[in-house]
Structure 1
Amino acid sequence: MSTIYLIRHCETTGQAPEAPLTPRGEEQAQRLCTQLFDLPIPHLISSPYRRALDSIQPLATALKLPVAQEEDLKERRLSAVPLDDWQDHLRRTFIDPDYTCPGGESSRIATKRITRVVEEALQQHDGSILVTHGNLLSLYLHSIDPTFGFEESLQLKNPDIFKVTRIQQQTIVEHLEAF
């Protein structure tokens, strides 16, 4: 049996890769540290986006662990151009995994990215924490449980925690309450 924890980052000031956490998000990161501190955590892996790194840094400091940055945990790019009806496009990507907006990344490609990281973590670092973003996390959850779709993705919180357990070839996902 192998277990990892997937975390959606804390509240942020924006969507740009360099966007910091809000003051509330900084408090959430401290509370996340307190909640996760007693888990047997050997490895921390994060999206390179600042909001993800800042979300896990208090725990990294408390545990005296480095945070490995993983490019494949960065947020999925829906489109290279602003879309007024972006939620309609996002909904469509849950139905058609190959649908791509101009300059965007399909759900299939984004799901492959996060799945690779999760699989490696499950094999190499039992108990690891991976910090990522809402849409990418939703796509991964959808790949395991097709009933987790667009509407469920809208219910994710900042932060949010999922425990992923692999028992032989079966993957079990539990939604944990943050604080």
Structure 2
Amino acid sequence: MKRIYIVRHCEAQGQSLHAPLTDNGLKQAAYLAEFFQTMQIDRIISSPFLRAIQSIEPLSKSTNNLIEIDDRLSERILSVDNLPDWFEKLQGTFTDLDLKYKGGESSREAMIRVTNVVKEVLESATEHTVIVSHGNLIALLLKSYQRDVDFQFWQKLSNPDVYQISYMGHEAVIERIWNAQP
């Protein structure tokens, strides 16, 4: 049975490409490595954003798996414009998957991008893969499997968060497996 672990990055100091983890985020990353300690991990693929890489570095070191960087796991760009009402605009993109703002990416485009990564993992010989990305993109990936994933679901994602997608044949079973640090 193939398993793909979808990991949302730990707490970060901002949203830019180079925003590092906070001190708490670094502690979360260490706990994330502990969380995966009893699980077999064959491969790690990450967004190129610093916060995603830093979130999974402790696991990479403890499992001796190199972190593969895949630009398709980058956070979705809603718009190149500064949108004061970005929250409402983002909400609209969960209802209308083709809604697109200046220089941005529609939900459907982002879903295709991230599901292509998962499809390639499924076609590979790897059995247990960790994919590290960002909240919006993860919500859209899960929405591609479960239509009821919506804006409220995205709002409830934690930093970090972990979902497991298990594949038995062509059937995908999705389950939230993250247990936040006590």
Q: What TM-score does the superposition give when structure 1 sets the normalisation length?
A: 0.97
**Which shows bigger deviation, 119-128 or 79-88?**
119-128
Separation of aligned partners in 2, 1:122 and 1:87: 33
**2:163 aligns to what SS in structure 1?**
strand
1:37-56 paired onto structure 2 within 5 Å: 37-56=37-56
Determine the structure 1 residue equivalent to 2:2. Answer: 2
Separation of aligned partners in 2, 1:89 and 1:168: 38
Determine the structure 2 residue equivalent to 1:164. Answer: 165
Determine if contact 1:42/1:126 at 8 Å carries over to the other structure. Answer: yes
Deviation string 1:72-91 (CA, Å, 9 cap, x unpaired) is: 00000001011111111111
Determine if contact 1:21/1:54 at 8 Å carries over to the other structure. Answer: yes
Determine the structure 2 residue equivalent to 1:114. Answer: 114
Determine the structure 2 residue equivalent to 1:21. Answer: 21
Determine the structure 2 residue equivalent to 1:66. Answer: 66
1:74-85 paired onto structure 2 within 5 Å: 74-85=74-85
Name structure 2 gaps, 5 residues minimum: none
1:57 is the counterpart of 2:71 = no
When the two chains are superposed, the root-mean-square deviation of aligned CA atoms in Å is 0.9
Q: 1:177: Cα distance to partner?
A: 2.2
Determine the structure 2 residue equivalent to 1:128. Answer: 129
**1:154 aligns to what SS in structure 2?**
helix
User: Could you list the runs of 4 or more consecutive aligned residues of structure 1 that deviate by over 4 angstroms after TM superposition?
Assistant: none
Count of residue pairs brought into register by the alignment = 179
Separation of aligned partners in 2, 1:63 and 1:35: 12
Separation of aligned partners in 2, 1:145 and 1:18: 32
Separation of aligned partners in 2, 1:76 and 1:172: 25
Deviation string 1:109-159 (CA, Å, 9 cap, x unpaired) is: 100111011121123221110000000000111111111100111000000
Letter of the 2:139 partner, please give it.
Answer: S
Determine if contact 1:32/1:178 at 8 Å carries over to the other structure. Answer: no
